[in-house]
């Protein structure tokens, strides 16, 4: 019964199909992230992920309720890459900045995944772990709980917006070109435009072209981050 039959004369040997990997939520999310990293968030759909897995969209719904849940699961998987600090109350402000830089680094390494974070209340374990770390840093630094609760949301919006802007610049860069060089060309065009504006209508813009257009993306992120952390620290009693 279980003995393999030999191939009859004149026929091609029967090919055995490779065993399909069992469909799981983790496999679906990992596949969706591969599509994201290669083509961006808009390319990720239940149908596309199913195609990558060699199955139909209906089979995915046994593990994921739909595109929105899939995107949230993707974001939480990305957030798992964020390295969390061991809280040092004496360095809470710098550690909060370091964590913000780390989140930005991870998000921008996965195309436009930060779009999912905008408007999303975190419920996944990795996102909750980041929020827990941010709250711990602020509370240990003496920030009142009400302020810390609001600040988590404000920091998240700032990091998300910056990461999304970085992605927009990256996607505008033609294939094979250096994004930074392309950005500099674009910025020079903006400088020239500002300088050509009517001075009587825009006296401050035309006189501050260098100030308005100086600094890298990192410089601007650090400036905004510094303003936010200073503002949060100002609520510490006795500060």
Q: Are 138 and 232 in contact (CB under 8 A)?
A: yes
Decide if 25-78 and 82-233 have a common fold: no
Distance CA 147, CA 139 (A): 9
CATH 1.10.357.10 is the classification of domain 82-233: yes
Residue by residue, what is the 3-state secondary structure of 116-151? HHCCCCCCCHHHHHHHHHHHHHHHHCCCCHHHHHHH
Give pLDDT tens digits for 130-172: 999 999 999 999 999 999 999 999 999 999 999 998 888 777 6
Query: What pLDDT is attached to residue 223?
Result: 96
CATH 1.10.10.60 is the classification of domain 25-78: yes
Mean pLDDT throughout 194-207? 96
Could you tell me which of 64, 81, 80, 79 has the C-alpha nearest to residue 29? Answer: 64
Mean pLDDT throughout 201-219? 92
The pTM of this model reads 0.86
User: What is the DSSP annotation of 98-120?
Assistant: HHHHHHHHHHHTTTTTHHHHTTP
Query: What pLDDT is attached to residue 11?
Result: 67
Query: What pLDDT is attached to residue 214?
Result: 85
Q: Which residue has the higher pLDDT, 150 or 182?
A: 150
Give pLDDT tens digits for 99-142: 999 999 999 999 999 999 998 998 999 999 999 999 999 999 99
Residue extents of the structural domains in the chain: 25-78, 82-233
Handedness of CA 129, 134, 139, 141 (dihedral sign): positive
Q: Which residue has the higher pLDDT, 89 or 168?
A: 89
Q: Has residue 95 got a pLDDT over 80?
A: yes
Give pLDDT tens digits for 13-60: 666 545 567 899 999 999 999 999 999 999 999 999 999 999 999 999
Average of per-residue pLDDT values in the chain: 90
Query: What pLDDT is attached to residue 185?
Result: 78
């Amino acid at each position: 019964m279980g003995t393999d039959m030999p191939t009859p004369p004149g026929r091609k040997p029967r090919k055995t199909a490779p065993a399909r990997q069992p469909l799981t939520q983790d496999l679906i999310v990992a596949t969706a992230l591969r599509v994201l990293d290669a083509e961006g968030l808009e390319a990720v759909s239940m149908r596309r992920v199913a195609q990558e897995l060699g199955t139909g969209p209906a089979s995915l719904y046994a593990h994921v309720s739909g595109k929105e849940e899939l995107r949230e699961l993707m974001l939480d998987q990305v957030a798992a890459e964020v390295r969390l600090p061991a809280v040092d109350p004496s360095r809470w402000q710098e550690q909060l900045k370091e964590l913000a830089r780390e989140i930005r680094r991870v998000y921008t390494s996965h195309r436009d995944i930060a779009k999912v974070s905008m408007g999303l209340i975190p419920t996944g374990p990795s996102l909750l772990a980041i929020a827990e770390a941010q709250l711990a840093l602020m509370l240990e630094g003496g920030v009142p709980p009400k302020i810390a609760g609001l600040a988590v949301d404000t920091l998240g919006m700032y990091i998300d917006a910056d990461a999304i802007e970085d992605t927009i610049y990256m996607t505008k860069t033609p294939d094979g070109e250096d994004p930074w060089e392309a950005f500099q060309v674009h910025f020079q065009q903006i400088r020239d435009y500002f300088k050509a504006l009517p001075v009587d209508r825009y006296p401050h813009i035309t006189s501050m072209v260098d100030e308005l257009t100086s600094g890298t993306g990192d410089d601007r992120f650090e400036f905004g981050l510094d303003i936010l952390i200073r503002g949060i620290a100002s609520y510490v009693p006795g500060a």
